[in-house]
Every structure is written in C-alpha cells, then in structure tokens.
Amino acid sequence: MSESPVRNSHRRGPQKVYSKNIDAKVTSNGVRKKRVAIFDVDGTIFRSSLLIQLVERLIKNEIFPESARSAYERQQKKWLEREGDYGAYIDAMVRAFKKNLKGVHYGKLVEASEQVTLEQEKYVYRYTRDLLKDLKSKDYYLLAISHSPKTILDKFCPRMGFDKAYGTIYEIGPQDLFTGNMVDEHFMYNKAAVVRRAIEKENLTLSNSIGIGDTESDIPFLELVAKPVCFNPNSRLYKYAKRNAWKVVVERKDVVYEL
C-alpha cells in the first residue's frame, strides 16, 4: 500500500556469511518461493530516523510551523543528554507529525521525502548496507518494515535495493489533503502480522530467512525468521537476544564486531 491519495475509506494512499546454494521452497504447483531478508530501517540501516529528518524538513520548508518542535523538544533534549528514553522521543515526534500533518497537501509530503532522501541516502551503516548488497546478489527478496511514514520509505528504500517497504500510512481526504488519521494503525504496529501478510502476498518463504532489527519492537518479526540478527541493539533487545542465543552485531566507527 502506498500513501497515494486516499479518499474516505478508500486507500490509495557485511559480512558474507550466508550460502548462495540454499534451496528456496517450491509450492505444490511448482512455483518457486523466494527466500526473504527482513530489515528494520531506522537505526538499523539509516543512522538516524527518517521520521525525525522528515519532520525537521517539513519545518524548514514552512509546511509545519516552528511551534511543532514544542511537542518533542523536551524529550529530544532528555535523549541527547542521556537522561531519557529514545522511545519516548520518537513517540513525541510521531504525535507532532500526526498533529501537524492535518491539512497538508500530499504533494508537499512527497517533495519533503524526496529532499530528505537525496540529502541523506548515504547516511547508512556499513554492515547493513553491505549485507543488503550481498543478499541481493543471492536473490533474496528484500523487505523493509518500519514505523516511519510509507511516503518517505517509498523514496529511500528502493535506493537501498529493497523490493518492498511497509510503513505507516495516513489517510488523505478531499483535495489531496491529509486528515491526520492513520490507516490500519494496529496492523502496522504489529511487525509479525506485516511479515505474515508479505510472505503470503509476495510468495515468499521463511525457510532460511534472515531478519535484522535494533529495538524490542523488532522482536515479533525476529522470532519468525530462521536467522535473527540484532544490530546495535538497545538494552531490551540485547537482553532478549542473549537469552535466546541470537546473533548480536555492533558497528562503532569503522569497526564491526559480534558480542
């Protein structure tokens, strides 16, 4: 689904460690199912948050008012000073985005998304960037699942080589203006449900699948894949990974190592 105009209820709106000779599953009618690699985006590939950069760009473009920052400045300051939780900062950013998106023309969001992508498409982690290239060469289906708006994911993810990206979708009303309402909110915040839909819809298999995430919100889909990788994990995901003997990879400056 994309965030092309929606009216009323109608939606338009690394390391080379994986063998290339793993057989894909074949259905009873002989159709080959592709292996899938599932990536979170923010903090896993992109070295920031696409939502954060999008909101700042919308303010710079005078689409959002300067006052929009008041909704997240306090949480941002606490996070930067290592006194607050990153999740609380992102939640505040989401609230600011939803509140100020109402009445914005769809084309303005597309324009801002293109600008952020062009400016920051190389601001990525080396490990996941190289892993994406490696898996692409081995004919994996590359799937991105993020809570960032799908409009910006549809600009950023193809440049990373992804076949499909799932993200949050916002309703568009008359005259292509956003209503401020999110479409299928409960579904999009359940990454395991998103994976199951993609597996069925895109004729994929979880056999020999790979998943890469960085926070506890990625646990539901990491539990589904054959090879979960926790990349630069926060403390909650790190503890969960250690209990379950999942692979943990850390990238700091120009060094990549496993814990």
Identity of residue 141: Y
By residue range, what is the domain housing residue 23?
4-48+124-258
With 0-12 / 13-18 / 19 or more C-beta atoms within 10 angstroms meaning exposed / middle / buried, residue 38 is buried
Establish if 53 belongs to a structural domain: no
Residue 239 lies in a domain: yes
User: Residue 9 — very low, low, confident or very high, per pLDDT cuts 50/70/90?
Assistant: very low
Q: Is 109 among the domain residues? A: no
Residues 73-83: pLDDT tens digits? 999 999 999 99
In a domain, 99, yes or no: no
- Rounded percentage of the chain residues whose pLDDT exceeds 70: 88
CA atoms within 13 A on the CB side of 122: 1
- Our count of domains for the chain comes to 1
225 belongs to a structural domain: yes
For the cut 80, the answer to whether the pLDDT of residue 14 exceeds it is no
In a domain, 237, yes or no: yes
Residue 200: is its pLDDT beyond 80?
Answer: yes
Q: How many CA atoms lie within 13 A of 125 on its CB side?
A: 28
The verdict on residue 246 lying in a domain is yes
Which amino acid appears at position 150 of this protein?
Answer: K
Indicate the pLDDT class of residue 189, thresholds 50, 70 and 90: confident
Question: Looking at residue 169, which CATH number applies to its domain?
Answer: 3.40.50.1000
Q: How many CB atoms lie within 10 A of CB 170?
A: 24
